[in-house]
Amino acid sequence: MTSANPTPKQAVDSKKVWTTLITNTAYLTGLLTLDYSLKKHGSKYPLVALYTDTFPPSGHRALEARGIPKQHVKYLLPKQSKDFSNDPRFYDCWSKLTPFSLIEYDRVVQLDSDMVALQNMDELMEMELDPPSAEGKGQKVFAASHACVCNPLKKPHYPKDWIPENCAFTSQHDKPDEAQSTGAPSDFGLGMPNGGLQVVNPSTAVYNLIVDKMADPSTMEYDFADQSLLGDVFHGRWVALPYIYNALKTLRVQGVHHQIWQDDKVKNVHYILSPKPWDEEPGKESQESHKWWWQINLERLEDEKQRGINDGF
């Protein structure tokens, strides 16, 4: 048995944690605002920053100044890596599989740093999943929301089967109320989870299944790194959460999945693709959801100013 985590050690007292991966300072402002938003909405659980060796000293100082706990993780890559030059963000995505190995915790909810919580989501810490003793053989290995496979931006390098007919969210257009509380079946269409939010009961056995697959040359065929792997290895055996927990900002756009999007129901917005909200100026946002991020970010900056923190992040 391999272990990415030979000396399990908790970064915090809690056995249930939010985690987010950070490899550089490009996403640090996002991480700080995510942490602030979870606290703002009264989460009982801490956010732990999972940092790699590439994370610089200035980033460490920023986390320490705000009392955000952190934990070192190894940078994960398959034995043979696909060329992701069209989408360089996917090189970092393999490391988002690390939470499956964090057996010092009972429950890990992995979040991308380009997310912001609009409501409390602590129920994700309590939802039922297979216990580690199931060793990845059960029907509820992890929970996630579906990936949107519509390719609304018509990116030419995306697979040909990324079309609205294969998208789980399309199947919910005629039942928007149900879409707020229930995900489409996990094996619908391409059956691919979005890696931005994963609810995990860490397990060495499950992590080994993942690592074994990463050593297989077939990973060269994966167009979307971690989420391609999870959708393949655990096809139809994961719990599909409703979009509200990983509300991809593109879903809100007219003609994508506006039929199911309801602003007041969304619990967590995921600012996929560019530009990120922090790439824009407040008052000059390119879309409505970016205004929500800026509102929370400005609140955070004001709070930090009162506490004497002013490091430019």
Maximum Cα–Cα distance across the chain: 53
**Burial class, 130, CB count within 10 angstroms (exposed 0-12 / middle 13-18 / buried 19+):** buried
Q: What is the pTM of this model?
A: 0.93
The structural architecture, per CATH, of the domain 16-145+195-306 is Alpha-Beta Complex (3.90)
What is the structure's pLDDT at 91? 45
Mean pLDDT calculated for residue range 78-104: 68
Residue pLDDT, tens place only, 49-61: 999 999 999 999 9
Mean pLDDT calculated for residue range 305-310: 97
Please give the structure tokens belonging to residue 216: 């297989």
CA distances in angstroms from 101 to 38, 78, 96, 237, listed in the order given: 23, 16, 11, 19
Residue 145 has pLDDT above 80, yes or no: yes
What is the structure's pLDDT at 214? 86
Residue pLDDT, tens place only, 181-225: 999 999 999 999 999 999 999 999 999 999 898 888 887 777 777
Residue 84 has pLDDT above 50, yes or no: no
Q: Quick one: CA dihedral 65, 271, 93, 6, positive or negative? A: positive
Residue 96 has pLDDT above 90, yes or no: no
- In angstroms, the CA 233 to CA 250 distance is 27
**Residue 119 near residue 267 (C-beta atoms within 8 A):** yes
Higher pLDDT, 18 or 86: 18
Higher pLDDT, 172 or 154: 172
Cβ neighbours, 10 Å, residue 124: 22
Mean pLDDT of the chain: 92
Angle of helix 57-65 relative to helix 28-40, nearest 10 degrees, comes to 20
Please give the structure tokens belonging to residue 73: 């993780």
**Residue 243 near residue 152 (C-beta atoms within 8 A):** no
Residue pLDDT, tens place only, 229-250: 999 999 999 999 999 999 999 9
What is the structure's pLDDT at 215? 84
**What is the band of 85 on the pLDDT scale with cuts at 50, 70, 90?**
low
Please give the structure tokens belonging to residue 140: 């509820």
Mean pLDDT calculated for residue range 108-130: 98
**Residue 256 near residue 250 (C-beta atoms within 8 A):** yes
User: Domain locations in the chain?
Assistant: 16-145+195-306
What is the structure's pLDDT at 83? 56
Using left for φ > 0, alpha for ψ between -120 and 50, and beta otherwise, residue 283 falls in left
